[in-house]
Every structure is written in C-alpha cells, then in structure tokens.
Structure 1
Amino acid sequence: MKPAMETAAEENAEQSQEKKGCFECCIKCLGGVPYASLVATILCFSGVALFCGCGHVALTGTVSILEQHFSTTASDHALLSEVIQLMQYVIYGIASFFFLYGIILLAEGFYTTSAVKELHGEFKTTACGRCISGMFVFLTYVLGVAWLGVFGFSAVPVFMFYNIWSTCEVIKSLQTNVTVPGDQICVDIRQYGIIPWNAVPGKACGPILENICNTNEFYMSYHLFIVACAGAGATVIALLIYMMATTYNYAVLKFKSREDCCTKF
C-alpha cells in the first residue's frame, strides 16, 4: 500500500501533465492559424459586400435620375439601361465568386501554414500541394490586378456625382449675387459619354439642377457610390495581403521541399 501523500503527489503530477499537454496542444493549434489570411478574408468579404450591395442600389438610382431629368426619351438611354442591367448581373456573379474564393483561400492558408510549421506530417509538402499553392498565388495576382481596374472604374461615378454636387453648391452660393445668375450654370451629362449627344434635354441648369441635387435619389446614389468605391479599395488591400501570405508560404514550401530532397541523399 502506497502512502496517501505519495498517491496524492502522483495524482497531482498526472493532472499537471494533462494540463501541460492540453496547453501545448492549444498553442500548436493556434500556431497553425493563418492570421494574415484570416484578416484578408474578413476584409475581402466586407469589401466585396460593400461594393456589390451599394453598387447595385446606386446603379438603379442612377438610371432613375437619368430617365427623369436628363434623358426623357427611352430610346436615347436604352443601351445604357441594358449595360447597367448587365453590370448588376455581373455584380451578382462577383459576390458569389468571391464568397467561395475567400473560403478557399482561407482553407489554403490553413493548408500551407500547417505545412510550413510541420503540424500534420510530411504529406503536406508534396509536389501536388506545392502546385496548388502556386496556382493560388498566380490567380490571386491576376485578381489583384483586375480589382485595381475595378477600383479605378468605381471612382468614375463618384467623380461625376461630385461634379454635379459641387455645381449645385456654386449655384447656392451665387443666389445672393445679382451679377452672375445661377441659370447660366449647367451640368451636361452628355459630356461623360453615358448618353448620346442627341439626348433631350441632356443637361440641367440653375434651379432645376439644384432641385436634382436635393432629391433623395441623388443623395443616396452619390453616397452609395462612395461606399462602393471604398469597398473596392478594401478588396484590393485584402488581395494584396493574400498575395504576400500565399507568396511567402509557397516560397517556404519550395525551400522545404528542396531541403527534404537533399537530406534523403
């Protein structure tokens, strides 16, 4: 029979060993979390959601403003309406694709991080795994360049709405100035190329333009385009983080594969 003190000491030692093993397991699991990919995924989801959601509503409001104030003939803006409708369908596709792609990139981040830190064995550094990682590096670079174009394109309506808004502010500031009547200050949408030059009326001047700026559709569309542009910028930043994370992981995997190859001989 063992003394009670020795038995208690052994039980305490076993409990401390279990706690230590559990702590080491938690640290090991936390070490396999791809924090860069996790941050990039959250940022990518947020940016794409803002761009797609706000962009879709803003495009609808833009068509309504054009139809009511700048192009009263349906045939003049028929092509523009079709293009905007197509862009809205493209937005649906972008949202669906990046929802899936973000999940895949996060899984790939777990995959490569586990391989780099050797958490789950040697099978993670196979040629197939390195090929998959390299494919995601290339695809992320291509999507990053594409989203730079999307970010630049999303700034165009912001610039157009800002010009209209700033012109309305000029009209308001000249209401007390008799020498410069506000009726002479106009905004011609036809110069932006979104409606043809024969569109009627094509432009708005003075109080009419000021009333357009005071409508809820203009206010909402203007600010939604700003948020959509910010969402596109956030997505670009997320893809840049993805680029750095996937490139680093792929480089380490490539180095480890050469190291393992050399140690076999």
Structure 2
Amino acid sequence: METTSEENQEQSQEKKGCFECCIKCLGGVPYASLVATILCFSGVALFCGCGHVALTGTISILENHFSKITSDHAMLTDVIQLMQYVIYGIASFFFLYGIILLAEGFYTTSAVKELHSEFKTTICGRCISGMFVFLTYILGIAWLGVFGFSAVPVFLFYNMWSTCAAMRSPVANFTNVDSICVDVRQYGIIPWNATPGRACGSTLGDICNTSEFYLSYHLYIVACAGAGATVIALIHFLMILSANWAYLKDASHMHAYQDIKMKEEQELHDITSRSKECLNSYT
C-alpha cells in the first residue's frame, strides 16, 4: 500500500511538472505576433494568387474583345507580365519577412519574461528592433498604395458589370441598346487607335456573361481584400514592434539600474569589511 501511494505521488508530481512546463512554454508564445503573421500570410497569399490569375484573365478579355491587333496591346502585355513577376517576389519576400518578425516577437517575449533574471538585451538587439519598426512603417505606406492600386481594376470591372446589369434589367427602357457602350480606351489601358477599343449592346452583354469576366472580376475583389488585410497586418506588426522596442528599452534601463545597485552594495560591503578589519587590528 505504501509503495502504491508513493507511485501515485510520483505520477502526480510528474503530471504537475509537465503541466507547469506547458504553461511556461505557452506563456512565452507571442500571440499578437502570431496573429499578425497569420493575417499577413493570408493577405499576401490572396493578393498574389488571385491577382496573378486575374491579370491573366484580363489579358485574355482584352485580346478577344477590345484589341484584336497584337501590337496595340503589346506594351500592356509586357507590363502585366512584369507585374506577375513582381507578385512572385512579393510573395517570397513577405514569407521570409513574416517569419523574421515572428522570430523577433519570440525574442522580445523572452526578454520581457526574463526581465529580472540574467538575460540581458544588447544594443544590437535594440537596434534591430528599431530597424524593423522603420522598415515595417515603410512597407505599410507602400501597401497602402498597393491597396489603392488594386481597387482600380475592381472599379473598371464594376462599371462594366453594372452596365450589363442595367441592360438586362426588366425595369430599364432603352430605345437603342446598341448605343450603350463601354470604352476601355478612355482609361488608358490600350491606345486610342486600338481596334475595336469598345464594346456595345449585345456584344457587351456577351462579354459580361463569359467565365473569364466573371472570374477575373471576383478575383480582383478578393485580391483587393487581401491587400487590405496585409495593410491591417502591417499596422498590427508596427504596433507590436513599437511596444517590443519600448519593452527592450525598459529592460535595458532596469538591468543598468540593477548593475549599478549591485556595484554600490558591493562597494558598501567592501568598505564595511575594511572598517571592521581596521577596527580589529587597532583593538
């Protein structure tokens, strides 16, 4: 019976130790950085993936319905291909940058959790945190521009879709449907001498009914939403990094204060010891 009770106590102690270890590990996880990283990855993935496919569909729509001559849209094709390559670079960069920011969050969380221990933050660590704050701020401003730019194709496709919806509406009363047109040349996408450059009436309705138009329109919407999510993630990262930098700075000041206090206590102890020695030798 005694052996059984001792074994039960040992098992309960082991379970308690494992539980405390798990709690300690979970306490060191930077949940804010983790949420921001997931949001950033999701936003960039949506923007890059949907944007890449939507650009391909846009080229197909222009070639089949608005610009029959290849030379008229050759420059636009080159620009779209360049944008697709840029999308590859953006995806790779933010995958790496998100992992680095998450690792920095783990580092800062460890520094704050061990504020009163032997862990010390270095000047290099604080400089790196400050550099991440500046870089994330620049990226946030850049992605605000990307978000605004991604809304442009959504606006263009929405104009076409709303025009087609107005023509199909039973309430609408048009004397001449063929007079209703969408001219993409006015947006600067293709030159003014492009043939035909615009779509009218039933031709426009047929374009809106194609799977390419439907898919590209909704993919542009999702890509714009992904860009917005990335902006929110970068703002979240910026707040986290600013707080982490402040925590590291406070930790550095705290350690400096503790070092000075320990030195003063050691000096006071040495003076007291010498005074006692002198008093004993005099006596």
TM-score higher than 0.5 here? yes
How big is each residue's C-alpha offset from its partner over 1:24-43, in whole Å with a ceiling of 9 and x where there is no partner? 22111111101011111111
CA RMSD of aligned residues (A): 2.0
Paired with 1:102 and 1:32, the residues of 2 have a C-alpha distance of 18
- Counterparts of 1:129 and 1:122, CA distance in 2: 16
CA positional deviation for 1:15: 3.9
Say which of 221, 224, 229 aligns to 1:229. 224
Map 1:143-222 onto structure 2 (within 5 A): 143-173=139-169, 177=173, 180-222=175-217
Give the residue type in structure 2 aligned to 1:236: V
Partner residue, 2:36: 40
1:176 Cα deviation from its structure 2 partner? 6.9
User: How far did 1:22 drift?
Assistant: 2.3
Q: How does the TM-score come out when normalised to structure 2?
A: 0.86
- Asked whether the equivalents of residues 36 and 245 of structure 1 are also in contact (C-alpha less than 8 Å), the reply is yes
1:232 Cα deviation (Å)? Answer: 0.8
Structure 2 letter corresponding to 1:93: G
In structure 2, distance between residues paired with 1:194 and 1:208: 20
Specify every segment of 5 or more residues in structure 2 that has no aligned partner in the other structure, as ranges.
261-283
Deviations 1:53-93 (A, max 9, x none): 11001001101111111111111111111100000000000
Judge conservation of contact 2:66–2:195 (CA < 8 Å) in 1.
yes
Match of 2:77 in 1: 81
SS where residue 136 of structure 1 aligns? helix
The yes-or-no answer on 1:17 pairing with 2:13 is yes
Question: Offset at 1:122?
Answer: 3.8
Q: Which residue identity does 1:146 align to in structure 2? A: A
Deviation at 1:117, TM superposition (A): 1.0
Give per-residue Cα distances to partners, 1:175-211, cap 9 Å, x unaligned.
973x522111111101111111121111111111011
Q: Is the 8 A contact 1:44 1:235 kept in 2?
A: yes
Matched, 1:249 2:241: no
Residues 100-138 of structure 1, C-alpha deviations (whole Å, 9 max, x = no match): 111111111111111111189544511121122111111
Instruction: State the TM-score, normalized to the length of structure 1.
Output: 0.92
Cα distance in 2 between the residues matched to 1:80 and 1:237? 31
Residue number in structure 2 paired with 1:28? 24
Q: Which shifted more, 17-26 or 204-213?
A: 17-26
Residues 87/230 of structure 1: CA separation in 2 closer, same or farther (3 Å cut)? same
| Corresponding pairs, count | 260
Equivalent residue, structure 2, for 1:90: 86
* 1:120–1:195 CA distance, 2 compared to 1 (3 A): farther
Residue 262 (1) aligns with residue 264 (2): no
Residue type of the partner of 2:69? T
2: CA distance, partners of 1:220 / 1:41? 28
Give the direction of change, closer, same or farther, for the CA distance of 1:124–1:45 in structure 2 (3 Å limit). Answer: farther
Q: Which runs of 5+ in 1 are unaligned?
A: none
Change (3 A) 1:27 1:168: same
Q: Which amino acid aligns with 1:171?
A: M
Residue 136 of structure 1 pairs with residue 140 of structure 2 = no
SS of the residue 1:79 aligns to: helix
Going from structure 1 to structure 2, the CA distance change for 1:19 and 1:66 (only over 3 Å counts) comes to same
Q: Determine the C-alpha separation between the residues in 2 that align with 1:25 and 1:133.
A: 28
| Residues 43 and 88 of structure 1, relative CA distance in 2, 3 Å threshold | same
CA distance in 2, matches of 1:190, 1:17: 76
| AA partner of residue 205 (structure 1) | C
* Aligned partner letter, 2:143: W
